[in-house]
Amino acid sequence: MSVIYPRVALIGLGLIAGSMSLAMRRRGLAGEVTGYARSDATRETARRIGLVDRVCDSAAEAVADADLVVLCVPVGAMGAVAEEIAPHLKPGCTLSDVGSVKRAVIDAVGPHVPEGVDFIPAHPLAGTEHSGPESGFATLFDNRWCLLVPEGDVRPEALDRLRALWEGMGAHVDEMEADHHDLVLAVTSHAPHLIAYTMVGVADDLRRVTDSEVIKYSAAGFRDFTRIAASDPTMWRDVFLSNKDATLEILGRFTEELFALQRAIRTGDGEHLFDYFTRTRAIRRGIIEAGQDTDAPDFGRAAKGA
């Protein structure tokens, strides 16, 4: 493929940024990729492994003359980072992000976007429980979805260019309104993560009185919960604080469903349980048929990141 952006700047050098750099390199989508991370240790690791073409020692240096700047930092830090880099953004460039929440990012970053810069929030629906510069891999976005959430005056050519980049990195691309995005992700990602954290927390309490039997005899269901619950705590703290209303709405619905299942178990209503499990099983089949997972064990990630 041909170069889409002569220079791309990645602010934050973790799993997503690293995978973006490697995916762009795989297809020759960027002329140069610069990167910056706040931590000295992260920058040093990124330099050592050649994660990007040039690791910079300041965000201002990284974004200088960049055609695309992508914020790959926790949602709670995006506003401050946007304010810091705003004076250094090239007129006509595109500013984007990879955050799991969109309304809070728009509210935090939007006021700092200079005139003449296209701000196009984005969210690649891809990841593993691993984090840090050494966790990225070039195929992370293959056959996954990336949602673009343009708001306000965005040039059509800027939107088309960013779409082409994500498609070049292997993703399917769709557009979505910010508040709807946050509600959908509360269902598909945020609430499930909170439930996983809770289940592992309950098991940890139980483990203390069962001499580690919960760990020793973990079945596949609990292992899957622990994989989810191993995700970056800073990122998920910010996600829940930034998407509070949608997450609380979905958790309220979850609680109602849970009470109904408790009642069915207590009263011996096997028909209700069977019908409920049959309906939810069909959703799993739909995910596999859509190519968003396989029927293999361990989340279908037996290769990289397993």
296 in any annotated domain: no
Q: Which of 143, 176, 209 delimits the end of a domain?
A: 176
Residue 294 included in any domain = no
**Based on the domain organization, do 166 and 184 belong to the same domain?**
no
What is the CATH number for 107?
3.40.50.720
Three-class secondary structure of residue 115 per DSSP: coil
The pLDDT of residue 284: 81
Domain that holds residue 26: 5-176
How long, in residues, is the chain? 306
Full-model pTM: 0.81
Domain boundary residue among 176, 193, 210? 176
Q: Are strands 145-148 and 122-124 parallel, antiparallel or unpaired?
A: antiparallel
pLDDT values of the chain reduced to their tens digit, one per residue, 306 residues: 799 999 999 999 999 999 999 999 999 999 999 999 999 999 999 999 999 999 999 999 999 999 999 999 999 999 999 999 999 999 999 999 999 999 999 999 999 999 999 999 999 998 777 788 999 999 999 999 999 999 989 999 999 999 999 999 999 999 999 999 999 999 888 888 888 888 878 777 776 656 566 666 666 677 777 777 777 788 888 888 888 898 898 889 889 999 999 999 999 999 999 998 888 888 888 888 877 777 765 544 444 443
Q: Which pLDDT score, from 0 to 100, does residue 301 have?
A: 46
Answer yes or no: is 210 within a domain.
yes
Distance CA 263, CA 277 (A): 15
In a shared domain, residues 99 and 241: no
* 55, 36 Cβ separation under 8 angstroms: yes
**Do 136 and 19 meet the contact criterion of CB atoms below 8 Å apart?**
yes
Residue 205 is predicted with a pLDDT of 74
Per-residue model confidence (pLDDT) at position 96: 98
Query: What pLDDT sits at residue 225?
Result: 77
Q: What is the pLDDT of residue 194?
A: 86
Which pLDDT score is estimated for 117?
97
Q: Report which DSSP code applies to 190.
A: I
Domain membership of residue 121 (yes or no) is yes
**Helix, strand, coil percentages for the chain (3-state, nearest 5):** 55, 10, 30
According to the model, what pLDDT value does residue 287 have?
81
3-class DSSP state of 68: strand
